[in-house]
Amino acid sequence: MDLSDEDLYDVIVLGGGPVGLFATFYAGFRDLSVKLIEATEDLGGQITLLYPDKYIYDMPGFYEVIGTEVVKNLVMQAKRYNPTIVLGERALKITKLNDHKFEVVTDKAVHYSKTILICTGIGAFTPNKVEAVGIPEFEGRGVFYYVRDPERFRGKKVLIVGGGDSAVDWALHLKDIASSLTLIHRRDVFRAHEKSVDALMHSNVTVKLFYVLKEVKGDDWVRKAIITNVQSNKDEEMEVDDILVLVGYKADLSIIRQWGIAMDSRGVLVDDTMETNIPGIYAAGDVASPKSGFRQNLLAVGFGQAATAANRIKKYLEPSSSAFEHSTLREPSSKITASPETATH
């Protein structure tokens, strides 16, 4: 199959989280044509999905910064060199056609590139669920596992189930938006950051410890929740408009294991250049497992890995090119064609 220049990209970046976004920018910075493919309908990865309004304290250059602000700036930066961005497509299969041609099959289309950079984080997210009567029939009708728009909870009676960062952070964010907010947790020990827990316990949120969700009732929408005290085994009924079940997520890397890429229990094995066992396929961020054995799942580390991978891809495709292993005040590219409003597919 003959491919035009528009069909065959220099690199396909899989994953639109922070590391994938920075990789998209940096590859464009090195004059590479880039297609970014993200499985969900939103860019930003875990930040967008789990804690968009949480402060991030280990972002270089910022004393503290809200997650949504990080994502906003990363998206703007990623679009600088006019990449093609594809949302809502999950990569299912990667096939190496020859030394400089890969085929990526998603659940909706087929894409081609000379190299692949995997930035899928810790894998596809599936929310953990609770065993409560009525939960399945009210999913999407008052029972939610994500918060897409905080404003939809304005003036509502909200119940949050969970005791981790996501549950506590959303309780703090929604406490002044909802008309009333109750958080139940099956233990008296939280898995959230200590400062967040302290803020929660001194807020207007009603916190009920040693409680679980037993049953959900309603008509076309959730109307009531039955919660049970696990110590006394007594039930309580409460009126609710919405229930947020935030008890963690399962991450799944199983699809990558079908691609013939060497992996260990932590992710995709990479060398010091972020290359996998298959020449032309690289990985960066939480999905990458350095063969050296030293691993840190930090944004700062992921950004460095993304830059390393992009630089090595440039060298892989153009052996005579500069390694460009330094920062600069002058852009190496002679063409900046994108605006922050670059179209997204």
Residue 329 placed within a domain: no
Please, which pLDDT band fits residue 329 given cuts at 50, 70 and 90?
A: low
Q: What residues contact 113, with CB distance under 8 A and at least 6 apart?
A: 8, 9, 10, 11, 12, 35, 101, 102, 104
- Residue 192: what pLDDT? 86
25-53 residue pLDDT tens? 999 999 999 999 999 888 998 888 777 77
Q: Are residue 206 and residue 255 in the same domain, yes or no?
A: no
Whether residue 189 lies inside any domain: the answer is yes
Gap between the Cα atoms of 243 and 167, Å rounded: 11
pLDDT at 311: 96
> Which of residues 247, 277, 292 is at a domain's end?
247
Mean pLDDT along residues 77-91: 96
Q: Is residue 96 part of a domain?
A: yes
Same domain, 169 and 271: no
Pair 24, 58 in one domain: yes
Cβ neighbours of 51 (radius 10 Å): 21
Q: Give the Cβ contact number of residue 336 at 10 Å.
A: 12
With a cut of 60, say whether residue 345 has pLDDT above it: no
Residue ranges making up the domain that contains 59: 8-125+250-317
Q: Residue 330: pLDDT band by 50, 70, 90 thresholds?
A: low
Q: Is residue 326 part of a domain?
A: no
Is 71 within the bounds of a domain?
yes
| Domain membership flag for residue 340 | no
117, 19: one domain: yes
**Domain boundary residue among 201, 228, 247?**
247
Same domain, 274 and 229: no
Residues 208 and 118 in one domain: no
Which of 206, 221, 247 terminates a domain? The answer is 247
pLDDT at residue 342, as a whole number: 44
User: Do 152 and 120 sit in the same domain of this protein?
Assistant: no
345: in domain: no
pLDDT for the residue 337: 47
Domain of 170: which CATH number? 3.50.50.60
Helix, strand, coil percentages for the chain (3-state, nearest 5): 25, 30, 45
* Residue type at 92 in one-letter notation: L
pLDDT for res 200: 96
Overall domain count for the chain: 2
Q: How far is CA 293 from CA 183, 261, 270, in A?
A: 39, 17, 10
Q: Mean of the pLDDT values across residues 107-114?
A: 96
Report the C-alpha gap between 158 and 243 in whole angstroms.
6
pLDDT reported for residue 151: 92
pLDDT at 340: 43
Residue 275 lies in a domain: yes
Of 23-27, 221-225, 252-256, 314-318, give the lowest mean pLDDT range: 252-256
Q: Is the pLDDT of residue 343 over 50?
A: no
* Whether residues 182 and 232 fall in one domain: yes
pTM (two decimals): 0.76
Q: 27, 10 in Cβ contact below 8 A?
A: yes
- What's the pLDDT tens digit per position in 127-153? 889 999 999 999 999 999 988 788 999
Asked if 120 and 255 sit in the same domain, the reply is yes
Calculate what percentage of the chain has a pLDDT beyond 90: 69
160 with 14, same domain: the answer is: no
Q: Is 61 or 185 the better-scoring residue by pLDDT?
A: 185
Statement to judge: residues 82 and 151 lie in one domain: no
| Same domain as 301, residue 210 | no
